[in-house]
Amino acid sequence: MVEKTDPQGTLPRGVLQAWGQDKPQTRPGPKAMLSIAGIAASAISLADSDGAEALSLGRIAERLGVTANALYRYVDSRDDLDVIVHDQALGAPAGIGPGEDWASAAAAWCRALRQRYERHPWLSDVRIRIPFAPNALAWLDNLLERLEPSGMTGRQALQAAGLLDGYVRARAGAERDVAREGSSADPEALVDHIGVHRFSARLPRVSALISDGHFRQAAAGADEDFEFGLEAILNGLRRLPRHDAGPRKS
């Protein structure tokens, strides 16, 4: 008899697999030869070379030398695959500096997460409906610990964590798209094509920024732009009213 790992049937299989709490489905045929870790490693390699859009059970099965039907013994759906692959590629938080205060500690967390996205640029494209996998929750727990001295309530800290995580994810996707070769047009060529006077008459503020060179080499200013947005968010969190926060931790 196979022990039930989720008696209520409330957790997606991919979440259980990420926690090591699921086994391949029992089906007639050869003995199971693959592992979730091996499937995830193959999927990550595929995404690193071809992007998240390349992730499919069919292509992963081909790389592993099995049929798609054989892979379904291990992974039920693309949603489950996304949970497993995202968590494996994200990895556990490690080597993040403590920071001088809660805000600088949170900033260090954001920079470390950004580095994970830089390592796997496709991560920001992976659809994760329920981020309850172990590594994702470890990152959240690490950030919540850093926010504790701020005096935020539990609800505020969770909202702040969602804001910071969402910012890093959005910036990572934007930076990847801008850096992609041939991904954007030359704004100055656009102005010349439309006509300087016509363009500046319709969009005077944008035209001024283009003339001053602020749209050139956007990828080169990615670090500065990231830090600007991060500091703006942290400044807002510093000014956030603390309601019923109780004793603050030093």
Region 215-227: mean pLDDT is 79
Tell me the C-alpha to C-alpha distance, in Å, between residue 167 and each of 107, 132, 217, 226: 12, 19, 22, 9
Torsion of CA 108, 118, 129, 26, to 10 degrees: -120
Measured CA to CA, the distance from residue 96 to residue 114 in angstroms comes to 12
- Angle between the 154-179 and 134-147 helix axes, to the nearest 10 degrees? 120
Structure confidence at residue 245 (pLDDT): 46
Measured CA to CA, the distance from residue 142 to residue 145 in angstroms comes to 5
Sorted by sequence, the CB contacts under 8 Å of residue 222 that are 6+ apart come out as 175, 178, 179
Measured CA to CA, the distance from residue 89 to residue 109 in angstroms comes to 17
Q: How many CB atoms lie within 10 A of CB 125?
A: 17
Region 50-73: mean pLDDT is 91
pLDDT at 247 over 70: no
pLDDT tens digit sequence for 107-120: 999 999 999 999 99
pLDDT: which is higher, 30 or 53 = 53
The residue whose two tokens read 């964590």 is: 161
pLDDT tens digit sequence for 161-210: 999 999 999 999 988 887 776 556 678 888 888 888 998 899 999 989 88
Q: Are 108 and 98 in contact (CB under 8 A)?
A: yes
> What are 45's two structure tokens?
């390699």
Alpha helices by DSSP H, listed for the chain, are: 13-18, 36-50, 57-64, 68-71, 78-90, 102-119, 134-147, 154-179, 187-194, 196-202, 204-211, 222-238
Q: Classify burial at 46, counting beta carbons within 10 Å of its beta carbon; exposed 0-12, middle 13-18, buried 19 or more.
A: buried
Structure confidence at residue 1 (pLDDT): 35
Identity of the amino acid at 238: R
